[in-house]
Structure 1
Amino acid sequence: MSASRLEFATSRSTEFVDLTARIRDEVGRAGLRNGRVHLQSLHTTVGLAVNENEPLLLRDFQGMLERIAPTGAGYEHDDFTRRIDIALDEPVNGHAHCRQLLLSAFLTLLVEDGELVMGRWQSVFAVELDGPRRRQLAMQLDGDFVRPHSPEMPDSLVEVELARQLMVDPEPVAAPMRRLVEAGGKRLRPKLVQLTAGIGPRTDPLRAAELAAAVELLHNATLIHDDYVDESTHRRGRPTVAAAEGPERAIAVGDYYFAKATRLIAEMGNPAVTSAVAEALEAICASQIDDVALRGAYPGDRESYLRVVRGKTASLFAAACASGALLSEAAPEVVGALRRYGDLLGTAFQMADDMVDFSPSSGKPVGLDIRQRVLSLPLIYAADDRVVGPEVRKLLAGTLGDAEVGRVAELVTTSDALPR
């Protein structure tokens, strides 16, 4: 069970305060999946009601309350000469107490699948009858909880969803993808989905995990294709799909999970989320073509590099941030800001990853990107360097054996390419 106080301030003598969005936020924050929300007014002049938030209708309600219990109608409660223990600031509010009897001091709302069970036009109101005041409601949530802010639970939800999806797939495609997924990875993109899915007013940890897992499957599908194009033999310490099972299987497995991931996202029923991820997939494919084409002008230039990186890497970071926010129904300006953040984060991530190719302590063979002629910002900067640039360009234009790769790596690390 979760217990808290819902505080609010009123500005008029009679006021209908719509608390629906705040209650939804509390349900999401608490991780209530299925159960009940109990509300209790802590004041004898504040009632609770469920009805339509339409301004003219609210005026009708106020008029009805005034007709039934008019202000200043000679209430005995307001005869201070007959009452005892009266506070110095005691208001004349007999009408407010009478009106509260027409409402309720208690309210219970149902929660199913993480959502308040509400009709299309229904809103939850605290009805101020003697304002303006500062008010409190007692709120208790009970039922089945998934704790969205647990340090362990979000990651485990994604891992469970990944395992569940791979379990139902045909074994010829599931087995190679399972090996890649189980080999690890940073899971940055699903983490971004989960973090941004908690920003808007509608938070649902399970739906966020479903979206996060689909984005991770999509990312891994791009890695399978990348490894085939780059002729890489290992990924995360294990043989790549192309190396272990051949290029035809690698293409088929990648294609299958491109299709499956987009289907899973489409089935979530949020067109904006689907579009955000589909646009990233378009950018990834287009940039892969650019990447291959630019290898004829290796090492390329900074502008070409950034264009490829923003398409191949940053686009999915941006989509992860935007789709999570869209799933939670965040405001458009918030979605836009998160999309830009993801784009910058993805670009910075790729730049940092480029430098790993020149670090002996990274666990990767030094110079792997050089050998595979992968676009790399350190190589671009080294090729432009006035001191080492001519030798770097000459080496890159020829055959890259072990000696040449080692020399290029040495020139890059001794230049100012990495600090830049």
Structure 2
Amino acid sequence: MRAHIITIGDEILIGQIVDTNSAFIAKELDKIGVEVYQISSISDDKQHILDSLTAAEKTADLVILTGGLGPTKDDITKHTLCEYFEDILVENAEVLEHVENLFKHHVNRPILPANRSQAMIPSKASVLKNAYGTAPGMWMQSGNTVFISMPGVPFEMKSIMTEEIIPRLQKEFSRPFIVHRTLQTYGVGESEIANTIEEWENNLPSDIKLAYLPALGKVRLRLSTKGVDKVLLNHNLDKQITLLNELIGDIIVGYDDGESIEAVVASLFKTKNKTLAVAESCTGGQIAAAITAIPGASGYFKGGMVTYATHSKVELLKIDQELIDKHSVVSAEVAEAMAVSVRNWYKSDYAISTTGNAGPLKGDSEAEVGTVFIGIATPAKVFSVEFNMGNHRERVISKSVNKAFELLQKEILKN
């Protein structure tokens, strides 16, 4: 089954909002074996919508639209669907009752005629219940193609998608299984990985596809296959992952699409019952932010300091000014002193520190822009590693955060 997702709204096209609806819908469809063939964003224009519906019907079995279902005059999706399906709007008693109940119990103002108009839907459409809003979803069909329209409000769309659409698609249509396995790698670039696994990649079965998904400091490798026998599909993917492990197992840190390196590190600290503290300069608190974004961080993360300016390192971390004067604030010696100091301050098992020049100016050091030192203090030792992260500020900071977690993961695995 092939799907085309269409998001409607000028606010998307001018960059006022980010289209997160398409990503959510695509993931939900993929889970049940529906292949997304195309995603489009179009304007609030009747002819544009009509043209998009015509084009989508030629290539898709399922067309899903979001947006344009509000109560105001600029919301034209329902009227345009009526024109496309040669239909008329009729009042749906069930939807009207739902709208009236929402206003009665949750809205502190009288219901307006525009709100009541939400109960007007194409006569050929079946209603998809919207538990959290006034605009219902609608299910229509033209030939062999199903058309589904939902409101663009994300939490309303998600409810309709998971509670109404997915169960109905599963019930009414036969679909293959689509299976993905995503491996998380850190510390090695895309081209180097490709070179290492070239022979393995060349020998992949024709029904298994490999995709490289690079980001700063990391590369995800996604293996995908589809078919009617889910057990066989998983067996075939397991076999290929075993072969991959033999080739690049030293840089694989996880196998779940949502498993970030910080999540892997968090799991290690919890499993080993160890604690962590951080002292950040050039990363500006982003390591601590990444740690605390994961539920349960309070179980192992004792705290951190953002000692961005040189005097903060001296006053808060008690770094010797003579050490800074001798080696520069961006140096291995200062990175190691920061890691030791913050570990002692918080009485943690491990500590990590960053000091560097993210640019565009050199700041308090003459070290070249992109130079970063990451320090690690453990119960047994302290060390640091120097990196050159390039000359783009955002890239320098993001790569430094990733490298910090990579070094931390490797160190805690030794103990």
- Class of the TM-score when normalised by the shorter of the 2 chains: under 0.3
Q: TM-score, normalised by structure 1?
A: 0.24
Q: Which has the higher contact order (CA 8 A, sep 6+)?
A: 1
Higher Rg of the two aligned structures: 1
Name the one with the larger helix percent.
1
Q: TM-score, normalised by structure 2?
A: 0.24
